Amino acid sequence: MKAICFNFEIHQPFRLKRYRFFDIGRDHYYYDDFLNDDIVERVARNSYIPAAETLLRMVEAGQGRFRASIAISGTAFEQFEQYVPEFIDLLKKLADTGCIEFVAQPYAYSLACLTDPEEFQAQVMATCSMLKNRFGVKPTVLRNTELIYFDDLAPQIAAMGFKGVLTEGAKHILGWKSPDYIYTAASAPKLKLLLRNAKLSDDIAARFGDSSWAEFPLTADKYIDWIASTPAEEQIVNIFLNMEVFGDLHPATSGIFQFLEALPRFAAERGVDFVTPSEAISKIKPVGELSIMHPISGAGEERDTSLWLGNRLQNEAFEKLYSVAERVRQCDNRRLKQDFEYLQTCDHLFYMGTKQAIPFSPYDTPFAAFTNYMNVLADFLMRVEEEFPSKVDNEELNSLLLTISNQDAEIESLNKELTSMRKDIEQYNIEHRRREAEPEAEAPKATKARKPKAEAATDEKPKAKRKPAAKKAAK
């Protein structure tokens, strides 16, 4: 039986305020709270909240037959808590249904996977912790930032305990193969790959409201017919979308919410099921392995990382930021670590792109985005230098960090030894006090032991007196 695997991605960055050169060293707060509040609240009202309510109705109407998944970044979650906490309540209701799976992704929606495995793992684990604490769920599937994936990443993802990864069904990778199967990772055979069906996903995301499209208008029955008519052996169709598609990119007046809500009814008529990613992995057998040597993504025509790292401006900003990653991790400054997280969000690099027009950019030009970001980064680097001076090169820093690490280990070992010695001393004192008390307890016993000897001596004296009687008898 054929199944649809929906995944809705939710992300919002902490957008930067206008930060001038003269602010460097004076102002350490980088974010445009008014702009973030305005955008997050507007998108939540137009898109996130009505979309979540629609999903909740679909689950209830289908009595559990409709199933889907959601991925949410930590930076988005923090802003929802601050500006629209009612949306968090809706997400909790969706989690409680058991029909909506939450998949993990990097907390800051960063590109750390391309340069810093330690940072990548820390961010993924931070998202898992957030989902566990707030919704009581433990993700077993990962959706990396912008669906980025490559072979070298698979062993680390598998080692973190994930069973599957959502990524792009890029044509230059698949060749003649179809994205409508489950594959295994070539570098980690136990890790399963779910590939986005780009055409069917973009039919909703990019073409739903396009009146010049030959298939306009797109209706739920037509869409399900397309899916049902795919080859019978192709068991799964992965539709991965940004949730803003519903209500923001395509406004409610376009009928996008009615389209979404009608899908389960027509799917039931055509014998098409809905599954979550983890269900797909457990129920559907992989058809083979897939090797992806270079990073792919779900963005741009090339389906690579060039939208974020395609020019010199982007690469300079990216390299400068991660050049201090190890120093930031070793410091105890919580605010510095938080700024490092927020500055990693890939949106900042996306705004510097020159390959295509940048939608939703708060800047007039890519160069303006670069200038603003580098001013912020300059101040951030000055603060990092206060923790670990930049004159210390990487080799010296690594040696210093190793020394600090060894010292911590030595201190811990000494503390354990001290604890053990204290226990030994306490035990010695207990035994010493017991031994001192023993002679006092044994003294009466010694007196009693001498009494029989005294009695024995007394018995011997009468024997000596009886000797004359014996002699008289002899006579």
Instruction: Provide the annotated active-site residues.
Output: 146
Crossing angle for the helix pair 85-97 and 117-135, nearest 10 degrees? 80
Tens digit of pLDDT at every position of the chain (475 positions): 799 999 999 999 999 999 999 999 999 999 999 999 999 999 999 999 999 999 999 999 998 899 999 999 999 999 999 999 999 999 999 999 999 999 999 999 999 999 999 999 999 999 999 999 999 999 999 999 999 999 999 999 999 999 999 999 999 999 999 999 999 999 999 999 999 999 999 999 999 999 999 999 999 999 999 999 999 999 999 999 999 999 999 999 999 999 999 999 999 999 999 999 999 999 999 999 999 999 999 999 999 999 999 999 999 999 999 999 999 998 889 999 999 999 999 999 999 999 888 888 999 999 999 999 999 999 999 999 988 776 655 555 556 556 656 666 667 777 777 788 877 787 877 877 777 777 655 555 444 444 444 444 444 444 444 444 444 444 3
Asked if 119 and 326 touch (Cβ cutoff 8 Å), the reply is no
- C-alpha distances (whole Å) from 156 to each of 84, 105, 162, 296, 406 are 35, 14, 9, 17, 26
Q: What's the CA gap between 251 and 72, in Å, rounded? A: 21
Count CA within 13 A, CB hemisphere, residue 67: 19
- C-alpha distances (whole Å) from 403 to each of 55, 106, 325, 387 are 54, 31, 18, 16
Q: What's the CA gap between 437 and 294, in Å, rounded? A: 79
Q: Name the residue among 60, 474, 94 with its Cα closest to residue 276.
A: 94
Q: pTM of this prediction?
A: 0.82
